[in-house]
Structure 1
């Protein structure tokens, strides 16, 4: 019986109390007997948490009671066993490290997000090979090479990066191949392709979008067409299939 609820969600929002927030969230998670990882930084929050459904949803309610996190809408999946060994809450310099200080997403600002495209729209574009204006569409995988090897969109551009902080250099080396195309950047849950899309826009590429919610949201909202393999996840499940179930 799949009794463990797994959630993942991130938000870029200015946080000035990360140390206090770390302590309060850790205490609440332990109280609810949850396990997982929460990353906090001045730029926002990124979390992966699992436990009994009622407990997980109580934790989400605790987060949403904070005005900064009121609109959090976690992605959900289920597993037979707890996929995390412990509960960790860490304060980091970035919730996803890219080492480009000029790229500062902020969901509370009108222009603080990369333009996003829904899973259904991406599926439709990939069906035809062009966007709504007839421009060729390519998908760009912003994940690490070992994640891509587990599964990826068909014919996705893969620069074989070993860690996300290598993405800016890879973009500088390969930018020309993206000219004249509509680029859909994607990752597991959206956080890396958010920053990647903003960086590509800042580099002068005008038709760049992020896949809203990443691969996990694509699996949730479509039939998984145009994607082959599974999606690597950073817990003991290791990967999930297009039905968001732990793959064998």
Structure 2
């Protein structure tokens, strides 16, 4: 039986006094002996943590006492052993780096669809208005190689900061289509969908909760392979089980401060 609970969560919400928040979060996590990464920025919070379930739930309950995080939703998966090697709580300029300050999800999200709706659209080959549906992978090329939606658009970006230019280079290819951006847990495709709408792509949705939520609600339908994750598990299959045993060395980055979710 797998005994380590892994969570991924983010929320775009205006934050201030970041250093004080950093100290408080770090203190609580050290008390509970949890490992992983928490990123804090003026635009919100992004976290990846693992440990015994009671400690994880204790931390989430503590965090949600802050009204800014009261509705924070966490995606859960399990592993046999701790997939993180240390605890990091960092203050960053962005919780997912895009280098486009005008893109501020805290001011309003792009439209989102849930996993069940995406599966239904992919089953039919079109959206509810009969328009062709395409999925757009906003992750790094090496993540895509581990697994992605069948026939997903993949612009072979090496880091998320390359996405805006890739969109501008390929924008005309999306004309007349309903575009669903997706990523691991939702954070990258949320910023990507906002940027696409600002760039004039008319019919854009983000996949709410990303691939991990899709696996949870819709299983493996229309998806080939596993979902890459930035820890020692390396990837999760559609049952949210680890792709390999924790501890097997990987030649891919594991640091969630880079591109994760």
Per the normalisation by structure 1, the TM-score is 0.97
> Is it true that 1:201 corresponds to 2:201 in the alignment?
no
SS, match of residue 165 in structure 1? helix
Q: Deviations over 1:8-30 (max 9, x none)?
A: 00000000111111111011001
For structure 1, which runs of at least 5 residues remain unmatched after alignment?
none
Q: Alpha-carbon deviation of 1:223?
A: 2.2
The residue aligned with 1:121 is 117
The residue aligned with 2:100 is 100
How many residue pairs are counted as aligned between the two chains?
Answer: 244
The residue aligned with 1:223 is 219
The residue aligned with 2:69 is 69
> Is it true that 1:148 corresponds to 2:141 in the alignment?
no
The residue aligned with 1:235 is 231
Which aligned pairs between 1:1-248 and structure 2 lie closer than 5 A? Answer: 1-106=1-106, 109=107, 112-248=108-244
SS, match of residue 193 in structure 1? helix
SS, match of residue 219 in structure 2? coil
Q: Deviations over 1:126-179 (max 9, x none)?
A: 011100000000000000000000000000000000000000000010000001
Q: Alpha-carbon deviation of 1:114?
A: 1.4
- State the alpha-carbon separation in 1 of the partners of residues 194 and 152 from structure 2: 19
SS, match of residue 72 in structure 2? coil
SS, match of residue 40 in structure 1? strand
**Where do 4+ consecutive residues of structure 1 move more than 4 Å?**
none
